[in-house]
């Protein structure tokens, strides 16, 4: 009965979270969507679109980058799963477990096991990570030196070990106390953990990037951004607007909404300010403010938690099944052994491959909604929202060597944003202020 209740709860949570993605399509949205899809259908695979095209040399580079990064992604996913099986089958996880048990204190055991787990995992993924970063440098998307890159890897490792250790200790404490219901009890605990992670995000980012108040560096831009905030009825005061020195590491453009509650803020990259026009910056900021106003963080959390509940339930079943069947070979006695964590991670890896496309589709729906909001909120603040939106995406795509017309399968599998070509074509055609049309978020 409880399991049926849990599955019903998962469906309800996912349905609630998906409401923004399933919101009714307006006539203007449908017309622009049809226009963009027809333009894409008429274009050659990986070729230029009328509304987003690259010069021949950059088009060739984008196609080359697309093929290489696609291969890297599939190799990375496959290697991640295979390496877990090898660590279990070759007894490496069993060795980690025995090494941790040399300590009598459970906290020392847990942190020792996690340190070894993270260290071995980092070394196994290092060749792919190095190659990926080298590709970013080769195409001019990254200007980060190797010393800085390795420093960031070290910081990430330390954060994962320190705070991941707390989560690991909580997990195994719950497993000991509730051996048959730990999956549900731990899931309940993940809600405040997830909120805490989102809340702390802006402060953690200070370890990796340099920030300064946007008011200090560009007061004129802040005034323009305040106009967008006023139109959207957003409570984002100037002191929550920051400039990030992204140019120290990358050449691409971005802006984002970080944090939650008292830590929520808008961050604009310095690359965006130096390479985009003021109107294009307003569009990018309008998009990010759309995430803020449309409460995408609040709706993403229950969606993620719904998937996590299913993952934990299936993980509970598989951990106990796998240990009964292969536990002796893997040198894992039961679900309370530290090595059971590796079996749980194996379950999560498989389930992530299955659910990845669903999570990306959910994210693409949010990004599309933010695109629409961003274009509507700058209406009246820029001469032409359509031209501004198309130009902004054209600039984003050109600087990032984004392929104009990627494979539909790869979009379904890997894209958490709509393709740049679609976004540019949609933005050019989206005109909810035309006769007979109606804006989606700013009613006439």
User: What's the whole-number mean pLDDT along residues 193-200?
Assistant: 94
CB 290 within 8 Å of CB 373: yes
Ranking 168-172, 228-232, 235-239 by mean pLDDT, the lowest is: 235-239
> How many percent of the chain have pLDDT more than 70?
95
- Per-residue pLDDT band at 264 (split at 50, 70, 90): confident
* Predicted pLDDT of residue 265: 87
- Per-residue pLDDT for 20 more than 50? no
- Per-residue pLDDT for 19 more than 60? no
- What are the strands, taking DSSP E only, across 229-269? 241-244, 255-258, 265-269
- Per-residue pLDDT for 90 more than 80? yes
Ranking 136-150, 179-193, 252-266 by mean pLDDT, the lowest is: 252-266
User: What's the whole-number mean pLDDT along residues 258-282?
Assistant: 92
Q: For residue 211, how many C-alpha atoms fall within 13 Å in the half-sphere facing its CB?
A: 19
Structure-token pair, residue 14: 């996912």
* Predicted pLDDT of residue 18: 47
Quote the radius of gyration of the chain (alpha carbons, Å): 24
For residue range 283-339, what is the model confidence (pLDDT) as tens digits?
999 998 898 899 998 899 999 999 999 999 999 999 999 999 999 999 999 999 999
H-helix or E-strand spanning residue 138: helix 106-138
For residue range 344-401, what is the model confidence (pLDDT) as tens digits?
999 999 999 999 999 999 999 999 999 999 999 999 999 999 999 999 999 999 999 9
- Per-residue pLDDT band at 23 (split at 50, 70, 90): low
For residue range 154-191, what is the model confidence (pLDDT) as tens digits?
999 999 999 999 999 999 999 999 999 999 999 999 99
* Predicted pLDDT of residue 100: 98
Q: Could you give the CA distance from residue 106 to residue 110 in angstroms, rounded to a whole number?
A: 6
Average of per-residue pLDDT values in the chain: 92
* Predicted pLDDT of residue 255: 83
Q: CB atoms < 10 A from the CB of 343, how many?
A: 25
Report the predicted TM-score, pTM, of the whole model to 2 decimal places: 0.91
> How many percent of the chain have pLDDT more than 90?
85
For residue range 411-435, what is the model confidence (pLDDT) as tens digits?
999 999 999 999 999 999 999 999 9
- Per-residue pLDDT for 267 more than 70? yes
Is residue 235 classed as helix, strand or coil in its secondary structure?
Answer: coil
- Per-residue pLDDT for 17 more than 50? no
Q: CB atoms < 10 A from the CB of 100, how many?
A: 22
CB 252 within 8 Å of CB 399: yes
* Predicted pLDDT of residue 256: 81
């Amino acid at each position: 009965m409880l399991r049926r209740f849990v599955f019903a709860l998962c469906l309800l949570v996912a349905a609630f979270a998906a409401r923004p993605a399933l919101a009714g399509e307006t006539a203007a949205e449908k017309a622009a969507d049809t226009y963009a899809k027809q333009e894409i259908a008429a274009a050659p695979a990986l070729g230029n679109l009328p509304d987003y095209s690259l010069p021949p040399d950059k088009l060739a580079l984008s196609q080359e980058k697309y093929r290489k990064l696609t291969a890297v992604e599939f190799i990375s996913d496959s290697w991640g799963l295979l390496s877990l099986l090898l660590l279990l089958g070759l007894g490496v996880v069993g060795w980690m477990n025995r090494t941790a048990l040399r300590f009598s204190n459970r906290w020392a055991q847990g942190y020792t096991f996690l340190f070894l787990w993270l260290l071995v995992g980092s070394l196994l993924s290092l060749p792919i990570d190095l190659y990926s970063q080298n590709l970013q440098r080769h195409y001019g998307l990254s200007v980060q030196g190797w010393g800085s890159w390795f420093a960031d890897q070290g910081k990430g490792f330390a954060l994962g070990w320190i705070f991941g250790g707390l989560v690991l200790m909580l997990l195994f404490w719950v497993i000991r106390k509730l051996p048959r219901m730990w999956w549900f009890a731990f899931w309940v605990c993940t809600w405040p953990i997830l909120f805490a992670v989102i809340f702390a995000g802006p402060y953690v980012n200070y370890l990796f990037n340099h920030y300064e108040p946007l008011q200090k560096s560009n007061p004129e831009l802040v005034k323009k951004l305040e106009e967008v905030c006023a139109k959207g009825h957003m409570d984002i005061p100037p002191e929550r607007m920051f400039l990030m020195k992204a140019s120290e590491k990358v050449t691409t453009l971005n802006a984002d909404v970080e944090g939650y509650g008292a830590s929520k803020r808008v961050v604009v990259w310095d690359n965006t300010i130096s390479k985009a026009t003021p109107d294009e910056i307003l569009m990018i900021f309008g998009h990010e403010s759309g995430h803020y106003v449309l409460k995408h963080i609040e709706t993403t959390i229950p969606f993620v938690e719904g998937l996590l509940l299913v993952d934990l339930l299936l993980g509970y079943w598989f951990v106990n099944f796998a240990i009964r069947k292969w536990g002796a070979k893997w040198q894992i006695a039961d679900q309370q052994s530290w090595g059971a964590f590796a079996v749980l991670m194996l379950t999560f890896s498989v389930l992530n491959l299955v659910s990845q496309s669903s999570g990306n589709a959910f994210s693409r729906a949010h990004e599309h909604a933010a695109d629409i909001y961003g274009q509507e909120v700058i209406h009246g603040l820029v001469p032409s929202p359509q031209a501004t939106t198309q130009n902004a995406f054209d600039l984003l795509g050109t600087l990032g060597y984004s392929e104009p017309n990627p494979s539909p399968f790869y979009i379904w599998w890997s894209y958490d944003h709509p393709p740049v070509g679609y976004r540019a074509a949609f933005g050019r055609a989206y005109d909810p202020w035309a006769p007979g049309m109606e804006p989606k978020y700013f009613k006439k």
